[in-house]
Amino acid sequence: MRTTRLSQPHLLLLLLLAPVLLATVPLCLGDGGIAAYYEPSSSRTKCSNGNDDPSQFPENKMFVAVGENLWDLGIACGREYDVWCIGPGPCKSSGSGPVRVKVVDSAESSAASAEQSVPGADLVLSQAAFEAIANPHVDSITVKFEEV
């Protein structure tokens, strides 16, 4: 069996690129997409079966309506996600960390779709959750998210 040794230039290149490659690993661990925001005018959501149920919304107002790819025929109701704004640009300064949100609706529901800042987003965050990780003057952001 023949052993291959890295030449010094290749080894140096590998050592220089290692921190860059390792820094991208967290971005690969979760899903990514586009997030918009909304502020529902009603507490009638798909998760409440269309009933008026304000108790489904967390007191901290950190909630989300999810797109079709996460909705999972309604099984998504009550799931929680950590959401990070991937910046720079519209993201708040580093250290604002992820925001934890609870799924209360489908982004395709009549309540969420009529009031979201940008149609077709993967996540439609409550305005409070959106502003916790992004500057309020933008309509949408690129995000990374993972279920907790």
For residue range 25-54, what is the model confidence (pLDDT) as tens digits? 444 457 999 999 998 877 788 898 878 888
Q: What single-letter amino acid sits at 133?
A: I
- Is residue 19, in this structure, part of any structural domain at all? no
Which distant-in-sequence residues (6+ apart) come within 8 Å of 106 by Cβ? Answer: 45, 46, 65, 66, 67, 68, 71, 74, 76, 112
Q: Alpha-carbon distance 136 to 6, whole Å? A: 50
- Is residue 66, in this structure, part of any structural domain at all? yes
Mean per-residue pLDDT, 2-14? 58
Q: What is the CATH number of the domain that holds 64?
A: 2.40.40.10
Q: Is 0.85 topped by the overall pTM?
A: no
Res 129: pLDDT: 96
How many distinct structural domains can be found in the chain? 1
- Is residue 103, in this structure, part of any structural domain at all? yes
- Is residue 20, in this structure, part of any structural domain at all? no
Domain that holds residue 141: 29-147
- Is residue 80, in this structure, part of any structural domain at all? yes
Band (22; pLDDT cuts 50, 70, 90): very low
- Is residue 4, in this structure, part of any structural domain at all? no
- Is residue 106, in this structure, part of any structural domain at all? yes
- Is residue 74, in this structure, part of any structural domain at all? yes
